Chain A
């Protein structure tokens, strides 16, 4: 066997080996259950801490309104958000699993809300606080079924169907398309109990921060309001950084 033939054989063997590894990985991924995929999805969206600057743009037939904010998050439930755009004039929101505190700087007033207030939308947008912070325990709140995989926006995805197994869940039914390569959500569709589509969220612009893949761009469409959409753009994202515990206190809220 001459040298040229040897190189060709080695190259072919390497190719087979590479494809075998990829095939094994894919087969392994495809053998994951819906619950396992959800666990990886929830885990990938839960950090010890996260800080980011965000811009929320709400577009409708009359124009675009922008809101800017700084968001600090701790674990699954704690978040502190300060609005920096002129219209909101320094309003702040402190949220944990059981209560929501609003601070209005004009009146120096702290308002404490519980219950349904935790499901209200953020700054009048199509995005709820649960969309941003609290929605990381789908495995506990939903019964999941794995459907046929699909390609969404050029990304190979798992396709999961969810039905709520508890009351007082914001969306009784959901469909989630999860990127197979990094377990990030690519597309989420939320439905009413009747099956009518209520909201669609698309995730894009994946960045890697401290080793974590993160979707820095979200587009939310309220399917019941034609011609409106909300875009959320995160920048200056920091993950698992030390955030002083004092951040999530009334003292910081009223500062």
Chain B
């Protein structure tokens, strides 16, 4: 077991190192290197009610292929620095155009469904994890393989498979526990209760597909995912169109493999919808600036969800984190007003739980006075009472961020 673990670790390190060391595969291929450095100073209300200060630095290094017409790839490494260093392979993918279809493999993102904050059609990532201080709220990625088959200019079908992770970390922890038990007989009784982690079976592989097309003026998308982790069937449907504003709606449901029509099934039914109205101001009024004022409103509804307010959490819990869902309640709202010009991105946005009257509101200003250089500022405030879904840092929790970002 330990040798197998070591071999797999070494293989992984070799694969990662080769991406940086090996020369381009063909004489015509080039590698484009890009770097993004973000340096932020933050102040926020701590759990004890005091004010805490900390810095958070992030570096993102991307190697992207260039020059090959039928193949492309990207490797992005994300490094977060605070009192420790966290390294993450954010993206590592390749795309290959093979005859009539396109193959994508590696760690990347597929955006299914429709929605900026709320998207019931996002059955792959479940709408988890949103960064309210960013221009793009989500950047989750997963290891996957997909086949894309175009049908017409604006229609396609896509199949995807998401195999479960190789449990290297679990093996490492098991090996460490075994080594500790071997050295200390006191730990052996506890160790015997553990079982060695095994590679997941086929049933734990998530897989599905979607179809995307236009019906008249509407964009219509429907798909299905077998979620191997939770053993759930997840069909969805999504529409997008325009009537005075850009409108969208999506709906999905989760069917258990053993009991597809249980009470949990009804509770899992979600409907999301939204409207976006864009007002380009360069041609209006007497003193407009060149830019676009966006008015956005979205909502997520679980018709059979919890409509009564109650205290759900005994400990701080961030429903916007990577492990959380939008809200355990039946209704969540997201209004946003934003302004975007060549140098400015300013926004006021809020995630609202009307059932328990709690919210996280965020205001931000990103100013790019020079090419490749941005000054970032943001302030967020939690409103509501202790125990409300969006008051996870204590009542009236707040956070102030100020920093810079440079791209080169």
Contacts and interface: CB of A to CB of B under 8 A. Distances in A.
A9 interface: no
Interface in A114-134: 114-117, 119-121, 123-126, 128
A187 to B, nearest CB: 19
A98 B216 CA distance: 12
A250 B343 CA distance: 29
A58 interface: yes
A251 B156 contact: yes
A255 B283 contact: no
Interface in B261-277: 276-277
Given A107-B138, A196-B286, A225-B289, A116 B407 contact: no
Contact of A87 (B212, B245, B289, B407): B407
A5 interface: no
Nearest to B341: A124
Contacts of B15: none
Interface stretch (A60-68, A136-144, A153-161): A60-68
A47 interface: no
Interface in B304-332: none
A194 B109 CA distance: 48
B150 A108 contact: no
B241 to A, nearest CB: 8
Contact of A108 (B111, B279, B342, B343): B111
B178 interface: no
B280 A120 contact: yes
B343 A112 contact: no
B292 interface: yes
A234 interface: no
Contacts of A60: 343
Contacts of B102: 251, 255
A53 to B, nearest CB: 15
A188 interface: no
Contacts, number: 124
A86 interface: yes
Nearest to B286: A196
Chain A interface category by residue count: 35 or more
Interface residues of B, number: 55
B52 to A, nearest CB: 30
A148 interface: no
Residue from A86, A196, A245 with most neighbouring chain B CB atoms (10 Å): A86
Given A106-B136, A251-B150, A198 B156 contact: no
B279 A116 contact: yes
Contact of A194 (B110, B286, B340): B286
Nearest to B242: A114
A196 B282 CA distance: 13
Given A87-B371, A123-B342, A170 B278 contact: no
A109 B111 contact: yes
A188 to B, nearest CB: 14
Given A250-B153, A251-B150, A255-B102, A198 B246 contact: no
A113 interface: yes
B154 interface: yes
B219 interface: yes
A65 B246 contact: no
Interface in B57-73: 64, 72
24 contacts: A62-B370, A63-B371, A65-B343, A86-B408, A104-B136, A108-B108, A108-B111, A109-B109, A115-B244, A115-B245, A117-B280, A124-B343, A126-B290, A170-B283, A198-B282, A198-B283, A224-B288, A224-B289, A224-B290, A225-B290, A249-B150, A251-B102, A254-B148, A255-B72
Interface of B: 34, 64, 72, 95, 97, 102, 108-111, 136, 138-139, 148, 150, 152-156, 212, 217, 219, 240-242, 244-246, 276-280, 282-283, 285-292, 340-343, 368-372, 407-408
